[in-house]
Amino acid sequence: MEIEETETGKFETWTPEEVATAYEKGEIALIDVRTPQEYMFEHIEGALLLPMSFVDAERLPSQEGKRLVIYCGSSMRSEKVARQCLAKGVQPVTHMKDGFAGWKKAGLPYIGTDMATGGPTRVHAKKPG
């Protein structure tokens, strides 16, 4: 975990592995800020879709009991959204390093698309390498 002290509070960046561990324990909720099309093609199972263009930091759910972790495809959009949330007083703010691409590279499970049927399919965890 990387922690950056900013003028408005602590900005945290977690690795996909750290996110996966906390998610398995039920400690966090995941917010996917990609487009609906990206989400429908593949996403982390159980992640909530909130496209970047619709994020309103003041209307995010409380983090009491569960922290929110924001992710996107590469971590560019999630970092931008997380910094906007921090500037609006949302704390703590966490986003996932390397985004969904990093999640897949780490071999973590997700929901993908079965290219034969067009339907969703579980892609199970794989050992990277």
- Is position 129 within any domain? no
- Is position 128 within any domain? no
Spatial distance between the Cα atoms of 78 and 52, rounded to a whole number of angstroms: 8
pLDDT tens-digit profile of 96-119? 999 999 999 999 999 999 999 999
pLDDT at position 81 is 95
Cβ(128)–Cβ(104) below 8 Å: no
28 Cβ contact list (under 8 Å, min separation 6) = 19, 22, 66, 67, 68, 69, 94
Domain that holds residue 66: 2-123
- Is position 24 within any domain? yes
Tally of domains in the chain: 1
- Is position 33 within any domain? yes
pLDDT tens-digit profile of 42-94? 999 999 999 999 999 888 887 888 899 999 999 999 999 999 999 998 888 89
CATH number at residue 6: 3.40.250.10
Spatial distance between the Cα atoms of 86 and 35, rounded to a whole number of angstroms: 22
> Phi first, then psi: what are they for 40, rounded to 5°?
-65, -35
pTM: 0.90
